[in-house]
Structure formats: C-alpha cells, structure tokens
Amino acid sequence: MMLKTPSEIDIVRASASKIKDVDFENLAFGNTFTDHMLVCDFREGQWQKPIIKPYEPFLIDPSAKVFHYGQAIFEGMKAYKDENDDVWLFRPDENLHRFNKSAKRMAMPEVPEDIFLGGLNAILDLERDWVKKGLGNTLYIRPFMIAIGSGVIAQPSTQYRFMIILSPARSYYSGEVKVIIAEHFSRAANGGIGAAKAAGNYSAQFYPQKLAQEKGFQQIIWTDDATHTKLEEAGTMNVFFRINDTLYTAPTSERILDGVTRKSLIELAKREGIKVEVRSVLVDELVNAAKDGSLKEIFGAGTAAVVNPIVGFQYKDVYYELPKLENSFALELKDKLTKIQYKLAEDTFGWTVKV
C-alpha cells in the first residue's frame, strides 16, 4: 500500500528544530514532541485544508464541547526506522478504520483517508530525523479528534479538529506487572463505548486503577460488566492467557477494543504453530489453572508496549504467582513482531508500509 499525500496541504516549517535538545537515551514516554503538528478542522459540514505547522498550544472557547461532553477520540501508532534509514508504519489502515469507527460511535465526522494517512505521511516525511534507528527506538504517533464547537447545549458539535502529534519514545518497559481482577468496576458495557478509542474510556479507568495501585497492583484485568466472570482486557491492553501450550484471548465485542497488536499476535502465533483459541476465558478457569499449574503466562498486548508480561494476579484477596518460564510465548511473539516492524525479519503478511 502506498500512502497518498493530500494534493493540498499547507506546510509552515518551524524556524529551528528542538531535536538537538532532546536526550534520546532518556525519554519518558509521551512527554517530548517533535517540531511540527498536523491540524485539520471540520466546519460547515466539510473538512478544511490540512496544515502542518510548528508544534504549539492553541486557543479554543471555554464552552467547546470537548470540555463538557467529552467528544474526543484518538489512536496510538508507531513509526520505525530500518537499517537503511527508511521509515515504516505498521498496518496504518487498521488505525484509520478504527478511528472512523470510533468517530461514528461518538457522533463525530469520519476523517478521509487522504487527510489521515496522507497527512501522516506528509508529517512523518518532515520529521524523519526524529525516528531513530535501532530496536526499541520509535516515534509514537498520536492522531486525535476533539469537538471544538462552542456552546454548552448537550448536542454533538458541528465543528471538530483532527490533529496528529508525534513523540519520540524508547521501548516501553513497565517493570513487573501484577494485576487485580475487577470484581466491581467495569471498563465497558454492552451498548456503551468500550469498542471506541474514546478519551472517556480512559478517564473512567483512572479511579479504579488508582485504587488498585494503592494496593500494590499496576493494572486491572477487566471482567464483563454483567457478571464479572469473563476476563476481557488488561488495563488499556488486550489480554492473552497461556494454559498449557494454548493461547487464549477473548473475541472482540462491544466491550473489547479491536487491537491491532492482538490481531497481529493471533496471526503470528498461528504461523509459528502456536495453538490459539479466540474465546472467553472465565475467572474460575484462570484460578483453577493457576492452582493446578497449567496456567503458564498472562500478557497484555498493545502498541505502546507490544507485549506486557504479567507476573501474577489477585482475585478475591488471594494472590496467584505465575511460574518463571524458559520458553515464554509472550517474549517469542514480541521478538517476532518487533523484528517485522523494524524490517529485521521478512514481512510475510504485508503489514509494513513505507513512508
């Protein structure tokens, strides 16, 4: 797939680059941004001309609907540099489609491909130097859309702003992750917005996550809201369980976000001859597997960390520690996937797209 550049896109270059002030060896995730941002407004029923301009704050009215009713969605992607200094994206069309699915659910306008992918191609072309070579170096991409129309009447806005900002990042390592299984709080419900990458899904998680952290757990494994018996996601990642030598992950639904990493790991595992079953795993099954020793691994899957191994979980005040493994599926799959992303292994799936 080739990325188009919009025929009309204004580019205003920054007068100087901030890149020389950045310590690429010591980057805290998501705090440093590149020299430029892409901005494209929607008004009077139409997307306007996109502009790439110096990264800077902007003014919007205090009554803008994003502040009051949370009409806000986003995506998370990464760009990678290979040994020949070429820059690559991983399955960007998946992010475009998911973004527009989120937009629809939040009564926001869909963003055309030439603005989303074409605009991304144009801004990445300008910021190539910010994508560093070497396994673990990435440029994290944050496309997002907010309702900027003013007025506190509770109706969808008629004006929106789509933006892309870029943040250099080192591979994300969150340390040892212990999780607690949700018995009361829920991330999502049938008929709700759990399948959308909506800002509100994240704010709704902060309080339960804070309570979990106070008890010494880094993340929550979310269960279904109706019965709290099915395991659904780990924090803001999809979740996989390995029982004996089979990997299990829940099917996507209205409550589970359709992660690009999740679906890629499923295909990769199948190619590697690892047995994968897409079905709900019950909390009881997990507890029993932990007790009889057949539970080998739990890991989260998402763009930021790729794979995030979990060392143990707590349920109803009992903590279950996972065994330390020699042949971890999580680490094997992470290694295989990252090598495809950095063009260090052949991309037999056709997932990588050159900028």
Ligand X SMILES: *Cc1c(COP(=O)(O)O)cnc(C)c1O
**Using CA atoms, how far apart are residues 146 and 26, in angstroms rounded to an integer?**
31
Binding site for ligand X (CB under 6 A): 76, 197, 233, 236-238, 257, 259-262, 302-303
Query: Which CB atom, from 66 or from 195, has the smaller least distance to ligand X?
Result: 195
**Using CA atoms, how far apart are residues 207 and 211, in angstroms rounded to an integer?**
6
Query: Which CB atom, from 9 or from 198, has the smaller least distance to ligand X?
Result: 198
Shortest reach from residue 180's CB to ligand X, in Å: 17
Q: Exposure pattern of 249-270 as b/e (b: 16+ CB <10 Å)?
A: bbebbebbbbbbbbbbbbebbe
Query: Which CB atom, from 161 or from 262, has the smaller least distance to ligand X?
Result: 262
Three-state SS sequence of the chain: CCCCCCCCCEECCCCCCCHHHCCCCCCCCCCCCCCEEEEEEEECCEECCCEEEECCCCCCCCCCHHHHHCCEEECCEEEEECCCCCEEEECHHHHHHHHHHHHHHCCCCCCCHHHHHHHHHHHHHHCHHHCCECCCEEEEEEEEEEECCCCCCCCCCCCEEEEEEEEEEECCCCCCEEEEECCCCCCCCCCCCCCCCEHHHHHHHHHHHHHHHHCCCCEEEEECCCCCCEEEEECCEEEEEEECCEEEECCCECCECCCHHHHHHHHHHHHCCCEEEECCEEHHHHHHHHHHCCEEEEEEEECCCEEEEEEEEEECCEEEECCCCCCCHHHHHHHHHHHHHCCCCCCCCCCEEEC
Query: Which CB atom, from 178 or from 197, has the smaller least distance to ligand X?
Result: 197
Query: Which CB atom, from 13 or from 104, has the smaller least distance to ligand X?
Result: 104
Shortest reach from residue 264's CB to ligand X, in Å: 8
Shortest reach from residue 334's CB to ligand X, in Å: 13
Query: Which CB atom, from 109 or from 302, has the smaller least distance to ligand X?
Result: 302
Query: Which CB atom, from 6 or from 168, has the smaller least distance to ligand X?
Result: 168
Query: Which CB atom, from 75 or from 127, has the smaller least distance to ligand X?
Result: 75
Shortest reach from residue 168's CB to ligand X, in Å: 18
Shortest reach from residue 19's CB to ligand X, in Å: 26
Is beta strand 306-315 parallel, antiparallel or unpaired with respect to 177-181?
parallel
Shortest reach from residue 51's CB to ligand X, in Å: 27
Shortest reach from residue 184's CB to ligand X, in Å: 19
Shortest reach from residue 74's CB to ligand X, in Å: 9
Query: Which CB atom, from 262 or from 296, has the smaller least distance to ligand X?
Result: 262
Name the token pair of 249. Answer: 């992950």
Shortest reach from residue 1's CB to ligand X, in Å: 18
- CA distance readout (Å), 138 to 167, 191, 296, 348: 9, 35, 30, 22
